[in-house]
Structure 1
Amino acid sequence: MADEAQAQLPSDNLVAVRDLTREYKSSGGLFSTVRSMRAVNEVSLDVPRGKVTGVVGESGCGKSTLARLVLRLIAPTAGRVMFNDTDLASLAPAQLRKLRRSMQMVFQDPYSAIDPRYTIRRALLEPFEVQGVALGKGEQEDRLLALISKVGLSPRMTESYPHQLSGGQKQRVGIARALALSPSFLVLDEPTASLDVSIQAQIIGLLEALKQELGLTYLFISHDLSLVRYFCDRIVVMYLGRVVEILPGARAEACHHYARTLMDSHFVPDPRHRKAVTPLVGEIPSPFNLPPGCAFAERCPAASPLCRRERPLLSEHATGHLVACHHPA
């Protein structure tokens, strides 16, 4: 049913994810049995070409695992990822490595994303070495200067080491490295989470300018709702490994009760626009022992016996608006 609903979305998608699942097992011991949990559970979504698709949810809902699955940095337990109509699972390792030129990732922590033993020059030239792209001395300098200037850094920084740069400068280096091989798709895993607010604005401004200049497509993982509403064209809401709602626009009204509560927790810095927030009650289920119906039922004010018995499927609520809820608001 989720696939049928997704098929009704615009067909010009760079990435299509279908029933993607990643399961982890705990190690058993003398007095314990092996348990399993699904960090990502039958996720289906599309990433339209040239757009920014945001993924939001509480910590531990599976956002970062989904990001790595989409790029096949980790293998899924089930499901598939189509990139430009190519099933990533069907590719041999050499083919997948070649395709990675078109799909790159910017990581959350700029402090650990760059090898501290590398100069910025070596860090930016490393993608070419890994991909076996031979560059002459002059071409290396041209590529290096182009990448550095593209992200707003001084050419003098190419001989610096990561510890000599600020967090914002490191993240710019991470973005430059992701752009080295001219990709069409970037996965941004909370790229501003560890930065000061003023630096966050600069990085988002840079990403926005690069998207317009290079025609990039973004999958933007974040827990910052104000940032997602500002930056993203579509919003995917996850809860305990599943997609519970896909909003067709950043200003669309949420219908799933969890998504609505999540969106209502975003405040506007204006005393004339005060909000009365109703906190959620109840405990989050254990991911190792999910209930048979809706995982949000015990915390949902609209839950019914049907919700506790039968899991709602992701289906179309309005054009491009998908909701997994028996009683949408």
Structure 2
Amino acid sequence: MYKLLIGLLALLVVAAMIPVAVISFDAPRAPPVMAAMAAPSKQASSDFPAPRQFRARDGANLQYYAYPAGPEKVAILIHGSAGPGTSMHILAESLRTAGVTVYVPDIRGHGGSGRRGDIDYIGQIDDDLADFVAALGTAKSGETRTLLGFSAGAGFAIRIAGGRYGLLFNRYVLLSPTTLSDAPTLRPNAGGWVSVAVPRIITIALLGRVGIHWFDGLPVIRYAISPEMARWLTDSYSYRLATNFGAGRQYQAYLQNIRRPAALLVGDADEQVIASQYAPLLQRLGVNIPVTIVPDMTHTDMIRNPKAIRAIVGAVSAP
């Protein structure tokens, strides 16, 4: 009996060591730099509005940028993976010129909001967005509020639109959504933009199902940026942030639960996603979201190129 107990204990120890070994040795590697994806805005930093702060429910002061214009149309812009809010500057200025008041937060874990690459719990940035909307105050009579997300930010906007905070906004505009795990729209490794530690993610997720969250703060994704660009961008995401900042494997349920009007725009030369696959995907899911494919636009063109911006302004300004 004693030997049997010792044998069982040894098996338990070995079984416990397997996930620890996977997590320890499967760190994401830095992919080759993709300058086209990671290049910062060409605008000088002096062109950016002064950063402001709002207080989240946990007492943290989070950073955002304001582009005031008319009171009737308000848009909150969510930046893409790795980048801070200033990466949306050209689009924000164009919307302001069109009469739209724009707010661009640094999502927690990016820029001037929190510690780079991590959050405290999955769902925290959903709560942060709700806190920011509350800080703006009650919508005025006739005011239309739009949530516009780009890339991973569009995946996050899908999560919000189809989740418990979905009715906070009147309209959603989705620009080249990524983070739709296993979707036919996503190129392998987002066209080389990401390196994903899949075994580590699976192991952490399985441990989470039994209430073990010791490893949720470990990095699981790295982005194709240089060390120099990492001073401005966020070069890796923890499991918590990677799970929260996007729609993930639940993207179909989120899309099917969207209760507000939405529009999706994508460039036909996008390096990260396959533009032609969005409409068939939405049709298969029974989701009525119009898809606009903008000719000759790459991924980052969608927030910088005048042709793409004209289409986006039209989507945000639609009655």
Question: Normalized against structure 2, the TM-score is what?
Answer: 0.26
Question: Higher helix share goes to which structure?
Answer: 2
Question: Normalized against structure 1, the TM-score is what?
Answer: 0.26
